[in-house]
Amino acid sequence: MKVDPAIAARDALGRAYAHDAIGDACADIEAAEEVFSSETGVEATRAYETLLAIGERLPQAQAFQEFLIFATWQQATEETHPRHFRKGVQLTRQFLDRFGPHIQGTDVQERVTAIQRSFQRGLGRQVDEMRDEYDRDALHGGD
């Protein structure tokens, strides 16, 4: 992967503070991100889960959603478990479905698709296999 997930996460979070409508969630995001980036183990996992919960309340906050993708990669490397890789695949699919037309041909699209492939490989699936599955689901309305 040509993308440094930690740098990509930091950059996306900065853009979220500057451009996304995160409103009242800002203080909660800052607190959870501080713990997530400075702790390990249970504390970091709780902070990560808090960030995901905030993300569910802010589905249109593009940069924050991008941050969550890269935070999920960091979580997957900290605690290598298939659920983190599956979550990463889910987040990247949602992101590309929601924002794909607006980011086509940008660095954001390149970073997100690169990390999506990494999540897929972490699950032991080949990219073509995943693309075929996605295309079958998309044509039939599945997720």
Q: Are 119 and 89 within 8 A, CB to CB?
A: yes
Task: State the virtual CA torsion across 65, 67, 70, 72 in degrees, nearest 10.
Answer: -60
Average pLDDT over the chain reads 88
> Could you tell me the pLDDT band of residue 125, with boundaries at 50, 70 and 90?
confident
In this predicted structure, what is the pLDDT of residue 136? 53
Torsional sign, CA 132, 82, 95, 109: negative
Residue 143 confidence (pLDDT): 46
Q: For the chain, what is the domain count? A: 1
Can you tell me the mean pLDDT for 15-39?
A: 93
What pLDDT, in 10s, does the model give residues 30-53?
999 999 999 999 999 999 999 999
Residue 120: pLDDT band (50, 70, 90) is very high
- Per-residue pLDDT at 141: 52
- Cα distance between residue 111 and residue 70, in whole Å: 9
Straight-line distance from the first to the last Cα atom of the chain, in angstroms, rounded to the nearest whole number: 26
What predicted TM-score, i.e. pTM, was given to this entire model?
A: 0.83
